[in-house]
Amino acid sequence: MDDKETQTRTAVVTGAGSGIGRAVAVELLRTGWSVALAGRHAETLRGTAELVPEAASLAVCTDVARPEDVTALFAATVERFGRVDLLFNNAGTFGPGGVPVEELPYEAWRHVVDTNLNGAFLCAQAAYRQMKEQTPQGGRIINNGSISAHTPRPQSVAYTATKHALTGLTKSLALDGRPYGIAVGQIDIGNAATDMTAAMRRGALQADGSVVPEPVMDVADVARTVRHMAELPLEANIQFATVLATGMPYVGRG
């Protein structure tokens, strides 16, 4: 391990192979962080790393719903970089869209819960253990919530339930982390321009049954917000931040 790696802050970013996770990983890498890139597909993780080839990155194939994968992810990160200063708990899935509650298969519900909620818990638990043990003690966890942590879209029961639960997880982690210098916050994101939201620009189902195109925002603005939260001193914490496309149907009645 060279001097540069021991002096540079280290982040673990889950879901780093695409979308918001990729954007945040690139923002951190280009501004001097060392980043462990976690995701299920080696080729997409390599693609993220190649966007900032001169930076210190480590790609670890990880299914966050598997405890053994999460353990291996944090072990590899500490072996390479020596510590964990930040976890961006970002991996998630929406599940099948356009499915009424009464028709949603239990397997689909369970997959969303395992990824969005259980995976976030497992990664936070592993980060906690490392942050308590390392010297200097402490670190930061930022959970990727969603506008759905506040208000659901139609036919999104699994996704919305997990994102509401993530808010409780954030609050509990933040409280329990105080004695150890572990700061925990949440960023709630609305309509960042990624592959996952591409369909919104063509038309998204609204609560009144209509289908309306929705505005999106540059995902780089989300990444910069996460970096701002990450680079605060541990004595300060942004508990909740909401970043959304200005004209999306959320504030007020549409």
Q: What is the pLDDT of residue 7?
A: 59
Q: How far is 127 from 203, CA to CA, in rounded Å? A: 39
Identify the active-site residue in 128, 159, 180, 250: 159
DSSP H/E element including 146: none
Which conformational region is residue 177 in: left (phi greater than 0), alpha (psi within -120 to 50 degrees), or beta? alpha
Structure tokens at 169: 């997880």
The pLDDT score that the predictor gives to residue 253 is 59
Cis, bond preceding 215 (omega within 30 deg of 0): no
Q: How is 155-221 classified by DSSP, letter by letter?
A: T-HHHHHHHHHHHHHHHHHHHHHGGGTEEEEEEEEE-BSSGGGGGGGT-EE-TTS-EE----B-HHH
Active site residue 159: yes
Overall residue count recorded for the chain in this entry: 254
The full set of domain ranges for the chain reads 3-244
Euclidean distance between CA atoms 82 and 27, whole angstroms: 21
What averages of pLDDT result for each successive group of 10 residues across the chain (254 residues)? 58 97 98 98 98 97 98 98 98 89 96 98 98 98 94 91 97 98 97 81 84 91 98 98 92 70
In Å, how far are 16, 65, 171, 172, 209 from 12, measured between CA atoms? 9, 16, 20, 20, 40
Q: Which neighbouring-strand residues pair with 205?
A: 211
End-to-end CA distance of the chain: 53
Report, at the CATH architecture level, how domain 3-244 is classified: 3-Layer(aba) Sandwich (3.40)
